[in-house]
Structure 1
């Protein structure tokens, strides 16, 4: 019996599962979306082996510091693939990256993506990249390049995964962080749009598994008439553009925390010095927090029978970004945020402690 090396069959790249022509069509399909994200610093366009971005503007800073970040969308992608809805996960990808560097006061400059697919389909890739471009426009960064990799035999034909990479800049004297925070400071929250992009392994286990597409698209009273599909795939809010506008206008924000995996409990503490705790008012007189928790978070928590502590360590609980400000500056910062379309609310205060998030429950 002959082996593959001695076989005289003609095997093309297409026979192996890689469609080069479809890849070319995918690149053509995304060019217009990418162009809408351009900034003056971008040199050239798609097609080069590397992406060029001028650093000339950094000369105006006292000590420019580059800030980078990378992330993905996680198992939220499995729901998007199940439903065949690929137009919003790109925004999720950008949000998870740019809103991780903004807490340092960094402006996102440029973004790159990596898309791995089982079978390349130009239309689906165009939808994904369209969402990435939308996220870049909202955050003010340029989509300068990326990679589409087809993995036949390794991934299922309708399966894909995403990763994103962002580079930003901040002037070193303006870097925000725990060293600026003191006991007595006030914690402001910015509303989330829903689950955002964390906790989806639990979401899928609790409310998605064993349901048909028809069931997922059915309106639910518990979700205010919204379907599980719509609620679960609502894109992650991008705060970067609004927060940078506020910072550039001089708003005296001391520190920020992007509320992602680990919820409020395991993210807000990252904005605290070792001698300060964040005291969060988790339960008010109404029996709930002094802000709105999206119905999808409440619904999943109830279906999974999560305790309150588990909820606050899993989901954002309606808070996508937390800001720490001096008590004398709360009104001015809140006013500036409202002018940018944000919905700020007081969620607690900083108190002497050991760098942890603690809760004040007043039922």
Structure 2
């Protein structure tokens, strides 16, 4: 798995149009697109409409709604012309993704009300792959996208889904389009963009499994780190995230966040949850900073921001943190945020913050 980019959008669109050209002389309005209620023509228009909408929302940095326009074909546009529209709108999305500055986000309604460039790339690819499958199924033509592309898409938009040995059947199962041995049928689904939580001086940027995989292997995860970071604790947390994803127990809102400083866009640390909340709503939290920014209040601000977000949820009743006995700086951080010491055992002190 790897981070998704504009080249992936181009690859997905090329595979779509190559497959559908085999049936370009058919009446697409007379053929239902697989299990969808739409016909193949309407489905193809939907793909093009989504591609241009995603490009517009990212390039225009839409905040609260889609950019207010709609794709309309010229009267008399044939199937070949419609495929040209898909190619063109796909090229526009790919360009928007390639040229987006780091950290730029645009509106998307769920689940967290925004997406970054990678998210828009992945959503566009998902629309292309899944609806090409629908149309190909209706038209009776073969279609299967590259396994590596699908595996990266699953890790990006479906981090809550345990990856299978074959990515394409796993994606079809995860979106209610097929069966997978040993797994119950999917009747309702949605994808997940990464969560970002803004603070006063830093943004907590949720990382995806592919980013965590890169950090675990010693990479930068696509971030520009201060002082040659990240600190080892962030890499260890990234390793735990990858293991949770591979086990199918990862929930993206309870993962790992990279702390990105507003003033220069540099990553200065990591913070996140050790797991999902337990049955009592209790969840453990951890963090670290690169050495060059310690003592400047960043950890306190980020922890307060994440704590406020977590305790506003119905499934979280308390946050828990363990701090080494000789780490007085970290003890001061949790205390300033409002954590109270609840135990004193061995080399570690335990702190808790309740709703």
More strand by share: 1
Identify which of structures 1 and 2 has the higher relative contact order when contacts are C-alpha pairs closer than 8 Å and 6+ apart. Answer: 1
TM-score (norm 2): 0.34
More helix by share: 2
